[in-house]
A = this chain, B = another copy of it.
Amino acid sequence: MTREATPLPGVPGVGVTEAIAADVPAIVALLANDILGRDRESGVSDLYDEAFAAIDADPTEHLLVLLDEQESVVGTLQLGFVRSLSRGGALRAQIEAVRVSETLRGQGVGRALFTFVIEQARQEGAVLVQLTSDLQRDGAIRFYESLGFVHSHAGLKLALG
């Protein structure tokens, strides 16, 4: 690889690194290739590049990609950090927009990616990692529970018209 990426333990040939602007179309394609994402991602929004620039400029947000040996983007996840006064002024890590390429499903890639990201969160001093998962995604919720996440909260969303 010419791009530097941290090898993902247990998943030969796959590395994780911060996304660059050129990854945006591949990330959007992953987000769109999903039963729930299909209706949400047109793939042609000018906002994607603008959004990438905003994430890239924000020191509390990290857009990660998984790269295979051909340096193709085969997974993505956004790791953010939020400080609040609750829980003793604790730092929380928050995960958004997780996708792994269909071609890599069932090979432990998601588990290896989360193990990596949870360790990153710990090193940054987070006391908690939080995420929400659509209640329709049974399998995803079971996967997160198998990693030690507890389904203790309701995830509520209000769409602004």
Is residue A116 within 8 Å, beta carbon to beta carbon, of the partner chain?
Answer: no
B89 and A48 within 8 A (CB): yes
Q: What is the distance, in angstroms, from A116's C-beta to the closest C-beta of chain B?
A: 14
List residues of chain B with CB within 8 A of the CB of A88: 40-42, 45, 47-48
Chain A window 131-161, contacts with chain B (Cβ cutoff 8 Å), 1 for yes, 0 for no:
1111100000100110111111111111110
B85 and A31 within 8 A (CB): yes
The DSSP consensus for interface residues of chain A is mixed
A47 and B89 within 8 A (CB): yes
Alpha-carbon distance A63/B86, docked complex (angstroms): 12
Number of residues from A at the complex interface, CB < 8 A: 67
**Footprint of B on A, CB under 8 Å?**
24, 27-28, 31, 37, 40-42, 45, 47-52, 54-55, 58, 60-61, 63, 76, 78, 80, 82-91, 94, 96-97, 118, 121-122, 126-135, 141, 144-145, 147-160
27 A-B contacts (beta carbon < 8 Å): A40-B86, A40-B88, A41-B86, A48-B88, A51-B84, A51-B89, A54-B83, A58-B83, A60-B60, A85-B97, A129-B157, A129-B158, A129-B160, A130-B156, A131-B156, A133-B153, A133-B154, A134-B154, A135-B153, A141-B156, A144-B156, A144-B158, A148-B158, A150-B157, A150-B159, A152-B155, A152-B156
